[in-house]
Amino acid sequence: LCQPKKHLGGLMTASLVVVAVLLEINFSVIGRYVDYLVEEQGVKSIFVNGTTGEGLSLSISERRQVAEEWVTKGRNKLDQVVIHVGALSLKESQELARHAAEIGADGIAAIAPFFLKPWNKDVLINFLKEVAAAAPALPFYYYHIPALTGVKIRAEELLAGIQDKIPTFQGLKFSDTDLLDFGQCVDQNRQRQFAFLFGVDEQLLSALVMGATGAVGSTYNYLGKKTNQMLEAFEQKDFSTALNYQFCIQRFINFVVKLGFGVSQTKAIMTLVSGIPMGPPRLPLQKASREFTDNAEAKLKSLDFLPFTGLKDRNLEACS
């Protein structure tokens, strides 16, 4: 079996695509982005060109360039760079998979094709098998996100016997709220060294209890340090402290979800917290409003996720 250089676990952030003038990608700040994640958030693994990275809104050439830049700038700094290579076209997925291997990525992942959809497990596995075979030396991960793909094949069902068809299969990114499905993925595959990476940031603690080996999420771009504290408390079996951290994170996510929260808003928050200009999203997404950014900033400060300009601004909402 194909084995990853390091077992994929812990915290992995979903990288944003940085856009400058005329909606062209600003590759020059990716090195700064890497340093910020490692030094300020304690995040050393990256999932590139996924949902948060607007991978499916980029051209194949752009996706290749973004992947190259993350691998190059992350060398000797990041533990894992996993490239999402999913596409509607099998040929394009295979091209991106081969490219990821050529540039020295640590793994590849793919979503299910979502226009002409696979209608059962076997059809989906046949598609994923062809993608994985284009990079036979790289660990392959399935990116399960049914709310966006519309492919409702349960992950538990997909995993049954999958390594017989895809020898390089090493795990999945599970971006769904169905904890029954997730729990059964873990329970029925205990003898295998799969990576079970949970992708719903506000439910991570629940997934850890059920056996998640790590997490991939967008909020770890700016809440990575707080989430790492939760992971440390969980590993030390200090479940009360871990729960406090999860509730603290939920307070912020619950607040922004009510305002309207997605990739555009994540870019605005990341710009605010990191100081790195993330730029606007690609159409059809719209830039986050000034009102959203102002409200998010106030909430971040109230939770002590951002420094205050003055002590008079403090309230009792800050997380311990």
Three-class secondary structure of residue 125 per DSSP: helix
Contacts of 12 (CB under 8 A, 6+ apart): 43, 45, 46, 47, 80, 82, 197, 214, 215, 216, 217, 220
* Contacts by 89-92, CB closer than 8 A, 24 or more apart: 90/127, 90/130, 90/131, 92/60
pLDDT for res 315: 46
pLDDT at 147 over 60: yes
Number of neighbouring beta carbons within 10 Å of residue 23 = 12
Q: What are the pLDDT digits (tens) for 4-42?
A: 555 667 889 888 878 775 679 999 999 999 999 999 999
User: How far is the C-alpha of 133 from the C-alpha of 217, rounded, in Å?
Assistant: 27
Select from 128, 104, 5 the least CA-distant residue to 48.
104
User: How far is the C-alpha of 316 from the C-alpha of 6, rounded, in Å?
Assistant: 41
Render the burial of 214-226: b for 16+ CB within 10 Å, e for the rest. bbbbbbbbbbbeb
Is 52 annotated as ligand-binding?
Answer: yes
pLDDT for res 183: 97
Q: Which amino acid makes up residue 121?
A: K
* Topology adopted by domain 10-236: TIM Barrel (3.20.20)
Q: What's the maximum distance between 2 C-alpha atoms anywhere in the chain?
A: 62
DSSP class of 54: T
Across 237-247, average pLDDT? 97
Is 216 annotated as ligand-binding?
Answer: yes
Q: What are the pLDDT digits (tens) for 98-110?
A: 999 999 999 999 9
Phi, psi of 135 (to 5 degrees): -135, 70
**Residues noted as catalytic:** 143, 173
Number of neighbouring beta carbons within 10 Å of residue 256 = 21
Lowest-confidence pick of 128-142, 196-210, 226-240, 299-313: 299-313
Contact 73, 34 (CB under 8 A): yes
**Domain residue extents for the chain:** 10-236
Contact 13, 223 (CB under 8 A): no
Give the angle subtended at the CA of 9 by the CAs of 4 and 10, to the nearest 5°.
145
